[in-house]
Amino acid sequence: MDIFTLTNIFRTVQKFSYKFFLILLAFTALTSFSGYSRGLDFAVYFVDSDGDKIPDSKDIDDDNDGILDTVEGYSPYGSRDTDGDGVPDYLDVDSDNDGILDNVEAQTTTGFIPAIGVDKDMNGLDDAYEHCPKQGLTPIDTDGDGVPDYLDIDSDNDGILDNVEAQNSSNYIKPCLLDANGNGLDDHYENYSGSGLTPVDTDGDKVPDYRDIDSDNDGILDNVEAQTPSSYTPVCGIDSDGNGLDDHYENTPGSGEGLTPKNTDTDTNPDFRDIDADNDGIPDNVEAQTTDGYIAPSGNDSDM
């Protein structure tokens, strides 16, 4: 007669940049004729990409960004990988590779809700984003171009890449294109907490520069200040590759260069962040208007 024993060993291991549940199953066979026992161990792995102790097969938000896997393009027949980094969007914490976490870009800045680390129904979706069962976040689209911010490399459609606008100009760090832990966030932005970039808000209006069409609040659009007057190119309104960057600011569809912001006075701030771009002591907001028709900033931004 064979006697089977289940050994309840439950732990998490790291393998191939994914977290796995490891369940060890052991049985002992007792043979009355031989008088000795034999044991065999079986290891069963369950993938748990976000380490929330919910196997991916049961988890409706595998990367724990608050956006449902179904929204992020999960399919058993081939899932969407927007930034082409080999990590599909439903497992990628930074799907457009701009250094800003999807969880941040999927929400409004003023209405941002962090994850609380509680999941009472154990479906893998943080309760902070489950006001209705299995709802999750509805990703916002700041510039209304049909590409939500978490997939848009230029969320405010000013021609300047979000990766550039999210950082200080004086200590800009470009992506290194390495991702040691395979979570989709470039290693250059993977600090100890894995929180990615903290987007810069130059004018302190509670709209970060990557969503602000006038980052220094001088009344001149960033799209204008990023270019020279003689070679100014307006948006064409076409985005043939669907990456959120207007085709006028890409050499070829998908190349993703964006504008290189000009810096007239060669100080540490490019013009779109400089309230006195030519360093003559007169604010740009004054120089951009006629003396008789001057309008001072009101400090209000009703559409944020």
Mind listing the pLDDT tens digit for each residue in 192-215?
677 899 999 999 999 999 999 999
Backbone angles phi, psi at 42, to 5 degrees: -120, 135
pLDDT band at 14 (very low <50, low <70, confident <90, very high): very low
Residue 13 resides in a domain: yes
Residue 90 resides in a domain: no
Contacts 24+ apart (CB under 8 A), 235-238: 235/157, 235/159
Residue with the larger pLDDT of the pair 42 and 34: 42
pTM: 0.84
Residue with the larger pLDDT of the pair 301 and 37: 301
Residue 137 resides in a domain: no
Question: Has residue 219 got a pLDDT over 50?
Answer: yes
Residue 28 resides in a domain: yes
pLDDT at 36: 55
Helical H segments across the chain, by residue range: 102-105, 162-165, 222-225, 284-287
- Cα–Cα distance, 181 to 274 (Å, whole number): 38
Question: Has residue 250 got a pLDDT over 90?
Answer: yes
Residue 37 resides in a domain: yes
| Domain region containing 21 | 1-47
Sign of the C-alpha dihedral, residues 11, 12, 14, 18? positive
pLDDT at 293: 82
Number of domains in the chain: 1
Q: Residue 147's closest CA among 112, 105, 111?
A: 105
Return the amino acid letter for 213: I
Going from the C-alpha of 198 to that of each of 76, 146, 190, the distances in angstroms are 34, 24, 11
- Cα–Cα distance, 90 to 92 (Å, whole number): 6
pLDDT band at 39 (very low <50, low <70, confident <90, very high): low
Residue 96 resides in a domain: no
Going from the C-alpha of 205 to that of each of 22, 28, 197, 276, 290, the distances in angstroms are 48, 68, 19, 18, 25
Question: Has residue 141 got a pLDDT over 60?
Answer: yes
Mean pLDDT, all residues of the chain: 88
- Cα–Cα distance, 263 to 227 (Å, whole number): 9
pLDDT at 58: 95
Residue 18 resides in a domain: yes
Residue 138 resides in a domain: no
